[in-house]
Amino acid sequence: MARVRIVALDEVRRTRSRVRQEVERFKEALRDLPELHRQGKTKVFQLEPNEKLSTVRMRLRTAARELGLRIRVFRQNDNELAVRLYE
């Protein structure tokens, strides 16, 4: 059974705001992806020490969807994710 945590509403709002900021940051980083794709290049994101790979992948996909891009996210190594446009 799932663990349940009770949190204050302002904590939820803070978390939602932080997630939104991260997605906006990734949207800015993904804007040049179509041009890189035309050049045959891949964009690589290096993870911060405290970031989880799955969380960053999810934020990248959300940002790409909001930009109207279809992307593929690959694990480059332990702390890097490579992003390409999906063909």
Alpha helices by DSSP H, listed for 1-87, are 9-30, 33-38, 53-67
78 phi/psi in degrees, rounded to 5: -60, -30
Report the chain's mean pLDDT, rounded to a whole number: 88
- Over residues 43-65, mean pLDDT: 91
Q: How confident is the model over 6-32, as pLDDT tens digits? A: 667 777 777 888 889 999 999 999 999
Q: How confident is the model at residue 1 (pLDDT cuts 50, 70, 90)?
A: low
Query: What pLDDT, on the 0 to 100 scale, is given for residue 2?
Result: 63
Query: CB count, 10 Å around CB of 79?
Result: 13
Q: Which pLDDT does position 59 carry in this prediction?
A: 93
